[in-house]
């Protein structure tokens, strides 16, 4: 990795890759539809959270554009755990449903990792079932959480090497940090996971050749967290007060990193495209 | 962590802890037997490997001492994958079997992670089913692989703090390195996983407050891999030419570390004790 000599970081945009993934998914979805097997994605939601509603609409919209039918099962914020579980089991058993997403946040007392056990792995297109994570960690075929996979796909797309490199993931969530760590490890990176209890975060993150920020705090990563010339992937999609999106990485990091994913337009569009690609892949396996 | 001023490292023995775990397991096994629910452990083996046979005998012996009946299903080195799977499924369904271990090595073409999917998680006392690993990584109740759990239990027993400390795990196996990383992360350590493809291993391991060696290569970890005063856990149990056991950590590391687990007598006895404790716990849940 060459040192950044004051020139701003290369922007690792996700739009081109997302378009390529969507184009491929659309072709394959059309082929399935022509054989009488339309691709269908079920989104189960049990919240009145506005950001969630916005995200679900964006999924429905994106799915429609690649020829995937989207069915939103809105159980409302008062849904019981048993009701959500029953719905996931019914969708798992429904031969016309290709993929299933359980949207967060969930009602109080419901835990994503627990409920997602009711999504059959073959349709678990966002890798939420603990079995999917366990299979991923064990080197067995499984759908990875789309966001975690988007990190590695974006790095690949831009020709960033991973083998033997030190990747540092900030954030240890089950949906992003942990699966991203496994995917990076699987690519022969040396992988460090840090989090809110890490002592001296800047010292740890400064060891990174590739730094992945997946915390959900605006601007947490500043230039003193970044080794000059490092590649930085910003997974954060935080709502600002004025309604725009901001990442976990402060924009001034661009003066220090050699390459940086933008927010929006970096990991986000690749994530959505991969969710759709997984759904098509699930439909192909089920067809 | 205080710097080691030339005095040899404190020996973090596992024998005392193993005895305590076995004593507790024996009492609970006796209570179950008194209620007509004897604890039974099934060991499935399909190899003529001598080290494996030795290990199985040691398990049978240790189980007997705490009042656990051990049933060894020796399918031989020529066993078919389907035959092993069928046996695991039958044992999973047998209400008189409390715990199941699938012994390695397996016949050519058989993969532990894949076959272990046939061990029902409630009886998966060595955490070999990918679902167990996924649940562990997701923060849900599950049996951890006994060796990985032994690492953390041994550190706890000797009062080594983990929260906020940097733990470096050398080795990324599904049975030790990866689950150990998850258990250390769960204890709020910052966790790095390195492996054969790691560039400059001594530089990475020297960042460790707690270094866990789980590679299976005699003496891989030398003093220049260790920060003065670090705590070193040696998971290696390698057979030497003269038939004794040797760890992954060179004995000279004792001049540099503040504390070091011996081989034999460190992680090993705790691992065996935990396997038995898990089996009793499984029996209690099934009773």
At B24-78, the pLDDT tens digits run: 999 999 999 999 999 999 999 999 998 899 899 999 999 999 999 999 999 999 9
* Residues B182, A182: C-beta atoms closer than 8 Å: no
Separation between Cα atoms, residue B138 and residue B158, nearest integer Å = 27
pLDDT on residue A6 = 62
Strand order in the sheet with B99-102: B69-74, B40-45, B99-102
Looking at the structure, do residues B228 and B156 belong to the same domain, yes or no?
Answer: yes
Give the model confidence (pLDDT) of A164-186 as tens digits: 999 999 999 999 999 999 999 99
Looking at the structure, do residues A258 and A150 belong to the same domain, yes or no?
Answer: yes
* Residues A130, B131: C-beta atoms closer than 8 Å: yes
Q: Please indicate whether residue B145 or residue A54 has the higher confidence score (pLDDT).
A: B145
Cβ-Cβ contacts under 8 Å, B198 against chain A = 164, 190
CATH of the domain at B41: 3.40.50.10860
Q: From the CA atom positions of chain A, what is the Rg in Å?
A: 19
Would residue B18 count as lying in a domain?
Answer: no
Looking at the structure, do residues B165 and B92 belong to the same domain, yes or no?
Answer: no
Phi-psi region of B164 (alpha: psi -120 to 50; beta: other; left: phi over 0): left
pLDDT on residue A51 = 85
**Mean pLDDT across the stretch A84-101?**
98
**Which candidate in A112, A130, A143, A205 is best for mutational testing of the B interface (most B CBs within 10 A)?**
A130
Would residue A177 count as lying in a domain?
Answer: yes
Nearest Cα of chain B lies from the Cα of A58 at a distance, in angstroms, of 27
Looking at the structure, do residues A63 and A161 belong to the same domain, yes or no?
Answer: no
Looking at the structure, do residues A91 and A190 belong to the same domain, yes or no?
Answer: no
**Mean pLDDT across the stretch B199-206?**
97
Cβ-Cβ contacts under 8 Å, A169 against chain B = none
| Per-residue tokens: A78 | 């008062």
Separation between Cα atoms, residue B94 and residue B150, nearest integer Å = 28
Closest by alpha carbon to A63, among A262, A243, A283, A214? A283
Would residue A88 count as lying in a domain?
Answer: yes
Looking at the structure, do residues A159 and A114 belong to the same domain, yes or no?
Answer: no
Looking at the structure, do residues A262 and A151 belong to the same domain, yes or no?
Answer: yes
Q: Is B172 annotated as a binding residue?
A: yes
CA dist list (Å): A243 to A54, A221, A238, A277, B273: 12, 21, 9, 29, 56
pLDDT on residue B165 = 98
CATH of the domain at A182: 3.40.50.720
Would residue A249 count as lying in a domain?
Answer: yes
pLDDT on residue B125 = 98
pLDDT classification of A27: cutoffs 50, 70, 90: very high
* Residues A139, B164: C-beta atoms closer than 8 Å: no
Would residue B68 count as lying in a domain?
Answer: yes
**Mean pLDDT across the stretch A239-255?**
94
Looking at the structure, do residues B88 and B156 belong to the same domain, yes or no?
Answer: no
Separation between Cα atoms, residue B220 and residue A18, nearest integer Å = 44
Interface residue A107 vs chain B (CB under 8 A): no
Per the CB < 8 A criterion, the answer to whether B285 and B35 are in contact is: no
* Residues A134, B129: C-beta atoms closer than 8 Å: yes
% of chain B with per-residue pLDDT over 70: 98
Looking at the structure, do residues A164 and A113 belong to the same domain, yes or no?
Answer: no
pLDDT classification of A5: cutoffs 50, 70, 90: low
Ordered DSSP codes for B109-152: T--HHHHGGGS-GGG-TT--SHHHHHHHHTT---PPPHHHHHHH
* Residues A137, B140: C-beta atoms closer than 8 Å: no
Question: Rounded to the nearest 5°, which phi and psi values hold at B234?
Answer: -105, 110
pLDDT on residue A156 = 98
Residue B178 pLDDT exceeds 50: yes
Give the model confidence (pLDDT) of B103-161 as tens digits: 999 999 999 999 999 999 999 999 999 999 999 999 999 999 999 999 999 999 999 99
pLDDT on residue A7 = 79
CA atoms within 13 A on the CB side of A123: 27
Looking at the structure, do residues B115 and B171 belong to the same domain, yes or no?
Answer: no
* Residues A197, B164: C-beta atoms closer than 8 Å: yes
Nearest Cα of chain A lies from the Cα of B198 at a distance, in angstroms, of 5
Ordered DSSP codes for A208-223: -SEEEE-S--TT-B-G
Looking at the structure, do residues A156 and A78 belong to the same domain, yes or no?
Answer: no
Nearest Cα of chain B lies from the Cα of A253 at a distance, in angstroms, of 23
Cβ-Cβ contacts under 8 Å, B192 against chain A = 190-193
Per the CB < 8 A criterion, the answer to whether B172 and A210 are in contact is: no
Of A90, A124, A158, the one marking the end of a domain is A124
Nearest Cα of chain B lies from the Cα of A223 at a distance, in angstroms, of 21
Would residue B132 count as lying in a domain?
Answer: no
Q: From the CA atom positions of chain B, what is the Rg in Å?
A: 19
Q: Helix, strand, coil proportions of chain B in percent (round to 5)? A: 45, 15, 40
* Residues A130, B129: C-beta atoms closer than 8 Å: no
Residue B192 pLDDT exceeds 90: yes
Q: Is B227 annotated as a binding residue?
A: no
Nearest Cα of chain B lies from the Cα of A26 at a distance, in angstroms, of 32
pLDDT on residue B193 = 98
**Residues 125-164 in A contacting B (C-alpha not used; CB under 8 Å):** 129-135, 137-140, 163-164
Question: Rounded to the nearest 5°, which phi and psi values hold at B108?
Answer: -50, 135
Looking at the structure, do residues A93 and A179 belong to the same domain, yes or no?
Answer: no
* Chain A: residue whose CA lies nearest to B134: A134
| Per-residue tokens: A270 | 């690749």
Ordered DSSP codes for A184-195: HHHTT-EEEEE-
Cβ-Cβ contacts under 8 Å, B204 against chain A = 166, 190
* Residues A185, B164: C-beta atoms closer than 8 Å: no
Nearest Cα of chain A lies from the Cα of B254 at a distance, in angstroms, of 26
Would residue B12 count as lying in a domain?
Answer: no
Q: Please indicate whether residue A8 or residue A223 has the higher confidence score (pLDDT).
A: A223
pLDDT classification of B6: cutoffs 50, 70, 90: low
pLDDT on residue B243 = 84
Residue A193 pLDDT exceeds 70: yes
By residue range, what is the domain housing residue A55? 37-124
* Residues B137, A174: C-beta atoms closer than 8 Å: yes
pLDDT on residue B1 = 44
Indicate the average pLDDT of chain B.
96
Interface residue B35 vs chain A (CB under 8 A): no
Into how many domains does chain A fold?
Answer: 2
Separation between Cα atoms, residue B202 and residue B209, nearest integer Å = 14
Residue A265 pLDDT exceeds 50: yes
Residue A254 pLDDT exceeds 80: yes
% of chain A with per-residue pLDDT over 90: 93
pLDDT on residue B2 = 47
**Mean pLDDT across the stretch B214-238?**
97
pLDDT classification of A258: cutoffs 50, 70, 90: very high
* Chain B: residue whose CA lies nearest to A189: B198
Per the CB < 8 A criterion, the answer to whether B168 and A192 are in contact is: no
pLDDT on residue A23 = 98
Per the CB < 8 A criterion, the answer to whether A60 and A103 are in contact is: no
Would residue A140 count as lying in a domain?
Answer: no
């Amino acid at each position: 990795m060459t040192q950044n000599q004051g020139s701003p970081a290369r922007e690792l945009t996700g739009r081109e890759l997302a378009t390529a993934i969507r184009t491929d998914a659309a072709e394959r979805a059309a082929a399935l539809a022509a054989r009488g097997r339309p691709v269908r994605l079920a989104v189960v939601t049990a919240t009145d959270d506005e950001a969630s509603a916005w995200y679900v609409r964006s999924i429905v919209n994106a799915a429609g554009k690649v020829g995937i039918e989207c069915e939103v099962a809105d159980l409302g914020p008062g849904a019981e755990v048993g009701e959500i579980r029953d719905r996931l089991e019914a969708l798992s058993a429904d031969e016309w449903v290709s993929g299933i997403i359980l949207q967060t946040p969930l009602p109080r007392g419901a835990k994503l990792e627990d409920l997602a056990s009711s999504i059959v792995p073959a349709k678990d297109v966002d890798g939420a079932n603990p079995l999917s994570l366990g299979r991923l960690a064990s080197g067995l075929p499984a759908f990875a959480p789309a966001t975690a996979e988007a990190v590695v796909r974006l790095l690949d797309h831009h020709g960033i090497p991973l083998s033997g490199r030190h990747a540092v993931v900030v954030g240890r969530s089950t949906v992003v940090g942990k699966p991203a760590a496994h995917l990076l490890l699987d690519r022969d990176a040396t992988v460090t996971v840090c989090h809110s209890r890490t002592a001296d975060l800047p010292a740890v993150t400064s060891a990174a050749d590739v730094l992945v920020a997946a915390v959900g705090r605006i601007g947490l990563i500043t230039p003193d967290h970044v080794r000059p010339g490092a590649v930085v992937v910003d997974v954060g999609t935080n709502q600002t007060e004025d309604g725009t999106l901001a990442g976990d990485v402060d924009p001034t990091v661009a003066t220090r990193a050699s390459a940086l994913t933008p927010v929006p337009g970096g990991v986000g569009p690749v994530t959505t495209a991969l969710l759709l690609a997984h759904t098509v892949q699930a439909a192909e396996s089920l067809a």
